[in-house]
């Protein structure tokens, strides 16, 4: 495990989801709000990602770059980024929120689960910085021509799809009563 996945949260925040319809509803809202954001990006990017493949617009070199980029994103984004850090933290924060709901936090549960607020300063800086980087790519990507736009988007789609699967994996584990494996990175910790 990496150091980010082994940090212990010294607060007495529960690491297992409480029973009860309200807690389950809050937990589901937080997690599925995050999943919907990721799924929306996949739906929007997939047609652009498959276009150069479907229309056979890739040279051998470009095809090799496409495959390499997809493999790199499957490892770096899906496994290292999502599975070892982001996904279990989303679940840990959703568990915390479900067990200790505050009205404003519940309303904005997806943002809470992604650590945009009510998190340690370092965690919020990371969350906002990654979002700014993603927004930069969103602004710059339309200026790329095919097949380069498709190559870029192909890796992103694979990374996000792996991220969704990772979040679902930890979601099911939490519903089965297994504890969150990372700290929720709360400011009071």
Digit-coded pLDDT (tens) for 53-102: 999 889 999 999 999 999 999 999 999 999 999 999 999 999 999 999 99
In this prediction, residues 124-128 reach a mean pLDDT of: 94
Residue 11 has pLDDT above 80, yes or no: no
Asked if residues 98 and 24 have their Cβ atoms less than 8 Å apart, the reply is yes
Q: How confident is the model at residue 189 (pLDDT cuts 50, 70, 90)?
A: low
Give the pLDDT of residue 134.
Answer: 85
Digit-coded pLDDT (tens) for 167-184: 999 999 999 988 888 888
DSSP state string for 122-180:
HHHHHHHHHHHHHHHHHHHGGGSPTTHHHHHHHHHHHHHHHHHHHHHHHHHHHHTTPPP
- pTM of the predicted protein model: 0.87
Report the half-sphere exposure of 17 (CA within 13 A, side-chain side). Answer: 28
Give the pLDDT of residue 5.
Answer: 41
Report the mean per-residue pLDDT for the chain: 89
Angle, helices 21-54 vs 60-73, to 10°: value is 170
In the chain, where the domains are located: 19-175
Give the pLDDT of residue 14.
Answer: 58
The alpha-carbon radius of gyration of the chain (Å, integer) is: 18
């Amino acid at each position: 495990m990496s150091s980010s996945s082994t940090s212990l949260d010294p607060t007495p925040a529960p690491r297992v989801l409480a029973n009860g319809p309200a807690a389950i509803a809050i937990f589901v809202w937080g997690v599925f709000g995050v999943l919907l954001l990721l799924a929306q990006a996949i739906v929007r990017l997939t047609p652009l990602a498959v276009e150069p493949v479907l229309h056979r617009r890739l040279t051998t070199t470009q095809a090799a770059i496409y495959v390499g980029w997809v493999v790199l994103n499957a490892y770096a984004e899906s496994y290292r980024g999502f599975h070892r850090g982001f996904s279990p933290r989303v679940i840990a924060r959703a568990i915390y929120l479900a067990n200790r709901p505050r009205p404003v936090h519940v309303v904005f549960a997806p943002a809470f689960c992604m650590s945009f607020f009510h998190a340690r300063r370092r965690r919020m800086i990371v969350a906002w910085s990654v979002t700014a980087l993603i927004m930069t790519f969103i602004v710059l990507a339309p200026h790329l021509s095919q097949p380069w736009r498709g190559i870029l988007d192909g890796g992103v789609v694979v990374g996000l799809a792996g991220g969704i699967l990772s979040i679902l994996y930890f979601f099911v584990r939490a519903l089965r009563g297994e504890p969150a494996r990372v700290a929720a990175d709360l400011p009071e910790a």
